[in-house]
Structure 1
Amino acid sequence: MSSQQTEFFKDNLPTQREVTTPDSVPSSPELGSSSSSDSIASLGSPASPISPPISQPVADSFVFAFDIDGVLVRGGRAIPEAIQAMKVLNGENEYGIQVPHIFLTNGGGKTEEERCGDLSGQLKCDIKPGQFICGHTPMREMAEKYGTVLVVGGEGEKCRHVAEGYGFKDVVTPGDIIKHNAATTPFRKLTAEEHANSRERDFSDVVIDAVFVFADSRDWAGDIQIMLDVAMSKGGRLGTRSETNDEGPPFYFSHNDVVWSAAHEHVRLGMGALRRMFEVTFKDLTGGNGVLHTHAFGKPQVSTFEFASRLMGQWRQTEHGLVAPPETVYFVGDTPESDIRGTNAVNKVADNDWYSILVKTGVYQEGTEPAYKPRVTVENVLDAVNHGIKREMDKKAAKGQISKSALIPESGITEIAVDMDGITI
């Protein structure tokens, strides 16, 4: 590293100092309430793992946050440039610095620990739960609010185990309901394994207080049927029917993405589509006279980005000893309707600068006009990382903190300004 590049660290980086992590993380406030069909109003703070003391140069004025599907991974495999992007963030760059970063995905269906293990293998680097948010991670803040809950989605019993790990006391799954009454879903029969794993329940005295869709459904018809039975029940009692269709419990969805980037060459339907089908069918069945309470976590809800901001603060302090918040958060996503929309929205209320970067490796199709404009559009996540780092170097050069000769040239990328709603100005 040249002497000019070394100047970047002076008075800005905690160079070669030991950081001792705190013994505990402050507890979070309870999740705020939400009105019908609205997003969650406020979220508690995520927990952070305890890390050993470290000694290394770390950038303190900026951080990165990443969506996963379509940005880092597609169809279960790492996008080629993603592995190199992680190396750059972890210190393999012209400036020799590590750049703090977190991951914010609407996906779920597994514990954060399991998701981190998967992603670590895909990206060939160590990713820890303290820097990772699933779509359902904020739901853990609601474990004390509800007694018996119906958890929908995911593979096998995984979402039940995730919910129980969050502290939910009594978790029911669609499999439990079908095992109790096979006629519930005429076209779905439990496999021998599903029947064995589902729990025996007498639902005559069970009251479902809330429904949580943790992950994408593996049986849309069966799950929607059961969700409708609960929504149209008398106070969450299966087998009953409300005369007014306004007595059902609230429904929480871990995200609202209509489509997502999978292995197929075209985008696939996601949880947002399931939610829409559920809501439209409820309206049809009740003649438009019922009341359905649905809420969404995940991007683009501002509260989810605020939750991520708290996780970033804890991660930077625990892992790197950085207390002051970063000046800039670079959020890299592939979906204008969630990633870019949410980043631009939180930027209007945050104290620091949330900078939206759109990549072309996922949902966004090149040549189309995104409804929500990013600050910049790049080919892939490696370009996004290089752009953010160069932008920070340009800031330092403009302030005279480093020589312009130390800067790395960048071409083919043009920033744009966006207004509150993500429309070009």
Structure 2
Amino acid sequence: MTNGGGVCEERKAAQLSGWLGIRVAPSQVILSHTPMRDLVPQLAEAPVLVSGRGDVLAVARGYGLGRVLHTRQLGRAMPAATPFSSYPPPASAAQGAAAPAAAASVPESNITAAAAAAQFAEPCPVRHLGLATEEAPIHTVLVMADPDDWYRDAQLICDVLSGAGVPARSPAAAAAAGAAPVRLVFSNPDLLWANEFPKNRFGQGAFAHMVLSLYSRLTCGGRPAHVTFYGKPNPQPYRLAERLLLAQAHELGLALPEVPTGTLPFSGIYAVGDNPAADVRGANQAGAPWVSVLVRTGVFQGPGPNCDIDTARIAVDDVAAGVEAALHHTRSLRWHSMR
């Protein structure tokens, strides 16, 4: 379970299988946007705008969204809306441009570029399909992963919100038309994340803060009518993980103890992570049988062995020590239960 995303669960499972040397099934992977699958019954035929690096457009289509476009497609359809972003010119039929490689077949480092090339090769969803117009206004914006162009996406999302689904429409015209407000959904609220740089980097939570702050300035203190955050520490991924763990236990034929309705038949679910505000806070808020395990290999670097604000049940140096601590904790629980 991760607040990362931008690829489908099948691709991430294959990547994990290669890293770990064991088979990881897609049903054992929860990405930041995986809980968005629950929105498909509401959004299957609604015009939806997606934002994020990687191949989130293909992911959204794979979930079952039928009328979806990416912010880079919207920006290319109306380039004057984002004058500081660049878009390739449309390829003419005379040029005979070769079809771009599918993002699923390219290395992880090139997936955003491959996805963009594939999207630009499609018929324009605004001019050809009428999406993001008064005839088919955007119903929901899904920020499925950290955007690859924060300026472009912040500008277009604010335009869509203020125009009630039509980026070129003024707020006054939207109000006069009685247009419904647009829903805005972020796949995770992480302010910071860690990579090889010695200091933490801004994440999607920082992008969300920027969008909401800009919208507030544009509307004299307003806030979009419908804003939802998924991802850790919010409850959606934890409830989904519980359902998937139960299903996997049944598939494996494990003998689960009888428990009261609404109680999970697990002695412990160990959430190992490096971000106290996401991993530790989420596991602590999820309650039993979740057990938070903090590692010092990413966002958290001290001071002290544990975070003072979001304090983990277990704090160790790295993931290997976290697994060992979880096994020891489970053995202790079993020993005490037999006394």
Q: Distance in 2 between matches of 1:395 and 1:159?
A: 42
SS of the residue corresponding to residue 133 of structure 1 reads coil
Pair 1:398–1:210, CA change in 2 (3 A)? closer
Matched-pair contact (CA < 8 Å) for 2:190–2:205: yes
Pair 1:310–1:397, CA change in 2 (3 A)? same
Q: Distance in 2 between matches of 1:339 and 1:396?
A: 25
Q: What is the deviation of 1:292?
A: 4.0
SS of the residue corresponding to residue 327 of structure 1 reads coil
**Greater length-normalized contact order (CA 8 Å, ≥ 6 residues apart):** 1
Q: What is the deviation of 1:319?
A: 3.1
Pair 1:265–1:125, CA change in 2 (3 A)? farther
Matched-pair contact (CA < 8 Å) for 2:75–2:152: no
Unaligned runs of 5+ in 2: 90-116, 258-264
- Given candidates 299, 319, 333, the residue that maps to 1:381 is 319
Q: What is the deviation of 1:320?
A: 4.4
Matched-pair contact (CA < 8 Å) for 2:212–2:223: no
| Partner residue in 2 for 1:342 | 282
| Partner residue in 1 for 2:262 | none
Matched-pair contact (CA < 8 Å) for 1:153–1:213: yes
| Partner residue in 1 for 2:71 | 174
Answering whether residue 134 of structure 2 is matched by residue 134 of structure 1, we say no
- Given candidates 3, 9, 17, the residue that maps to 1:112 is 9
Q: Distance in 2 between matches of 1:383 and 1:270?
A: 27
Q: Tell me the TM-score normalised to structure 1 length.
A: 0.65
Pair 1:231–1:386, CA change in 2 (3 A)? same
Aligned residues: 291
Answering whether residue 62 of structure 2 is matched by residue 165 of structure 1, we say yes
Task: Please list, as runs of the form range in 1=range in 2, the aligned pairs for 1:42-191 lying within 5 A after superposition.
Answer: 104-146=1-43, 147-155=46-54, 158-191=55-88
Answering whether residue 337 of structure 2 is matched by residue 396 of structure 1, we say no
- Given candidates 109, 123, 129, the residue that maps to 1:199 is 123
Q: Distance in 2 between matches of 1:186 and 1:319?
A: 55
Answering whether residue 191 of structure 2 is matched by residue 258 of structure 1, we say yes
| Partner residue in 1 for 2:296 | 360
| Partner residue in 1 for 2:241 | 308
SS of the residue corresponding to residue 282 of structure 1 reads helix
Instruction: Give the aligned CA root-mean-square deviation in angstroms.
Output: 2.0
Q: Distance in 2 between matches of 1:171 and 1:322?
A: 43
Q: Distance in 2 between matches of 1:364 and 1:290?
A: 31
| Partner residue in 2 for 1:276 | 209
Q: Distance in 2 between matches of 1:395 and 1:178?
A: 55
Q: What is the deviation of 1:236?
A: 1.0
Unaligned runs of 5+ in 1: 1-103, 402-425
Q: Distance in 2 between matches of 1:285 and 1:400?
A: 63
What's the % identity of the aligned pairs?
A: 30
What is the one-letter code of the residue matched to 2:123? R
Answering whether residue 250 of structure 2 is matched by residue 321 of structure 1, we say no
Q: What is the deviation of 1:265?
A: 1.9
What is the one-letter code of the residue matched to 1:340? V
More helix by share: 2
SS of the residue corresponding to residue 252 of structure 1 reads strand
Q: Distance in 2 between matches of 1:399 and 1:148?
A: 54
- Given candidates 221, 246, 255, the residue that maps to 2:151 is 221
Q: What is the deviation of 1:361?
A: 0.6
